[in-house]
Amino acid sequence: MNKKDPVSIRDFETDKSHKIDDLIKFLTDAKEAGCEKVTISAGDYEDAILNIEMIASGKKKEIKINKSIKPVHVPLFNAYAQKVGVIEGEHQFHDIRIQIMEAKAEGYYVMFNGNKISIESDGSCSHWPPGFFDTSEKQLSKLVGF
């Protein structure tokens, strides 16, 4: 298989004359060749035909700034429920956690989507809801293959 050429199997019959292992091998080979898209749709049920089309264009994905990534802004409060300020990103949040840990401070919390999240004196958080300063974790997971 060549990455530059489109690869296509049409009317791959799923009757007993074709082994599923052959299909799996083909899909594996196509993936290793760099195929970017696989579309699988069942044809007429009675004919049990599986149409598989694989597209492996030689085009590279355009690199661009992702403007849909929005920073999280959360207010920080002290033990007296006084607003200390607004944390404007993950780095600031982790810095606040480190300061609280080093000072062994108690009672600090942030508000996120209507939820109160306590920052414990060891810098840990009472809970970590989805979307709460998790962009770096998600991106790093992709980089290391998770």
Instruction: Choose among 96, 95, 127: nearest CA to 112.
Output: 127
Work out the end-to-end distance of the chain between its first and last CA atoms, rounded to an integer number of angstroms: 27
Cα(109)–Cα(119) distance, rounded to whole angstroms?
5
Contact (CB, 8 A) for 112 and 95: no
The pair of structure tokens assigned to 97 is: 């956690």
Contact (CB, 8 A) for 11 and 48: no
User: Which domain does 134 fall in, by range?
Assistant: 74-143
Q: Looking at the structure, do residues 81 and 116 belong to the same domain, yes or no?
A: yes
Rg (CA), the chain: 26
- Is the whole model's pTM more than 0.75, yes or no? no
88-133: pLDDT as tens digits = 999 999 999 999 999 999 999 999 999 999 999 999 999 999 999 9
Q: Looking at the structure, do residues 43 and 81 belong to the same domain, yes or no?
A: no
**Within a domain: 62:** no
45-63: pLDDT as tens digits = 333 334 444 444 455 678 8
**Within a domain: 64:** no
Say how many domains are in the chain: 2
Complete edge-to-edge strand list for the sheet that includes strand 37-42: 7-13, 49-55, 37-42
Q: Looking at the structure, do residues 43 and 89 belong to the same domain, yes or no?
A: no
